Amino acid sequence: MATAMAASALVPPAAAVTRQRTLLCVPATARAPREMAAEVAAAAALGADVAELRLDRLSGFAPSRDLPVLLAGPRPLPALVTYRPKWEGGEYEGDDEPRFEALMLAMELGAEYVDIELKVADKFMKLISGKKPETCKLIVSSHNYENTPSAEELGNLVAQIQATGADIVKIATTATEIIDVARMFQILVHCQEKQVPIIGLVMNDRGFISRVLCPKFGGYLTFGTLEKGKESAPAQPTIADLINVYNIRQIGPDTKVFGIIGKPVGHSKSPILHNEAFRSVGFNAVYVPFLVDDLANFLTTYSSPDFAGFSCTIPHKEAAVRCCDEVDPIARDIGAVNTIIRKSDGKLVGYNTDYVGAISAIEDGIRALQPTETTTSPLAGRLFVVIGAGGAGKALAYGAKEKGARVVIANRTFARAQELGNLIGAPALSLAELENYHPEEGMILANTTAIGMHPNVNETPLSKQALKSYAVVFDAVYTPKDTRLLREAAECGATVVSGLEMFIRQAMGQFEHFTGMPAPDSLMRDIVLAKI
- Whole-angstrom distance, CA of residue 99 vs CA of residue 227: 28
* Active-site annotation holds for 170: yes
What element of type H or E holds 445?
strand 443-447
User: Does residue 52 sit in helix, strand or coil?
Assistant: strand
HSE-CB of 416 using CA atoms within 13 angstroms: 14
* Active-site annotation holds for 513: no
HSE-CB of 359 using CA atoms within 13 angstroms: 23
User: Does residue 260 sit in helix, strand or coil?
Assistant: strand
* Active-site annotation holds for 123: no
Catalytic choice (137, 316, 317, 403): 317
Task: Report which DSSP code applies to 85.
Answer: B
Residues in the chain: 532
Asked if residue 355 lies in contact with residue 424, where contact means CB atoms within 8 angstroms, the answer is: no
- What backbone torsions phi and psi does residue 321 show, to the nearest 5 degrees? -60, -45
- What backbone torsions phi and psi does residue 474 show, to the nearest 5 degrees? -115, 140
Catalytic choice (137, 354, 403, 513): 354
Catalytic choice (137, 143, 256, 394): 143
Asked if residue 35 lies in contact with residue 240, where contact means CB atoms within 8 angstroms, the answer is: no
Q: Under 8 Å CB-to-CB from 516, ≥6 apart: which residues? A: none
Task: Report which DSSP code applies to 409.
Answer: E
Catalytic choice (56, 115, 170, 513): 170
Q: How far is Cα of residue 327 from the mean position of the Cα atoms in its chain?
A: 25
Q: Under 8 Å CB-to-CB from 136, ≥6 apart: which residues? A: 107, 110, 111, 112, 113, 114
Taking 3-state DSSP, the helix, strand and coil percentages for the chain, each rounded to the nearest 5, stand at: 40, 20, 40
Asked if residue 260 lies in contact with residue 289, where contact means CB atoms within 8 angstroms, the answer is: yes
* Active-site annotation holds for 143: yes
The residues carrying an active-site annotation are: 143, 170, 317, 354
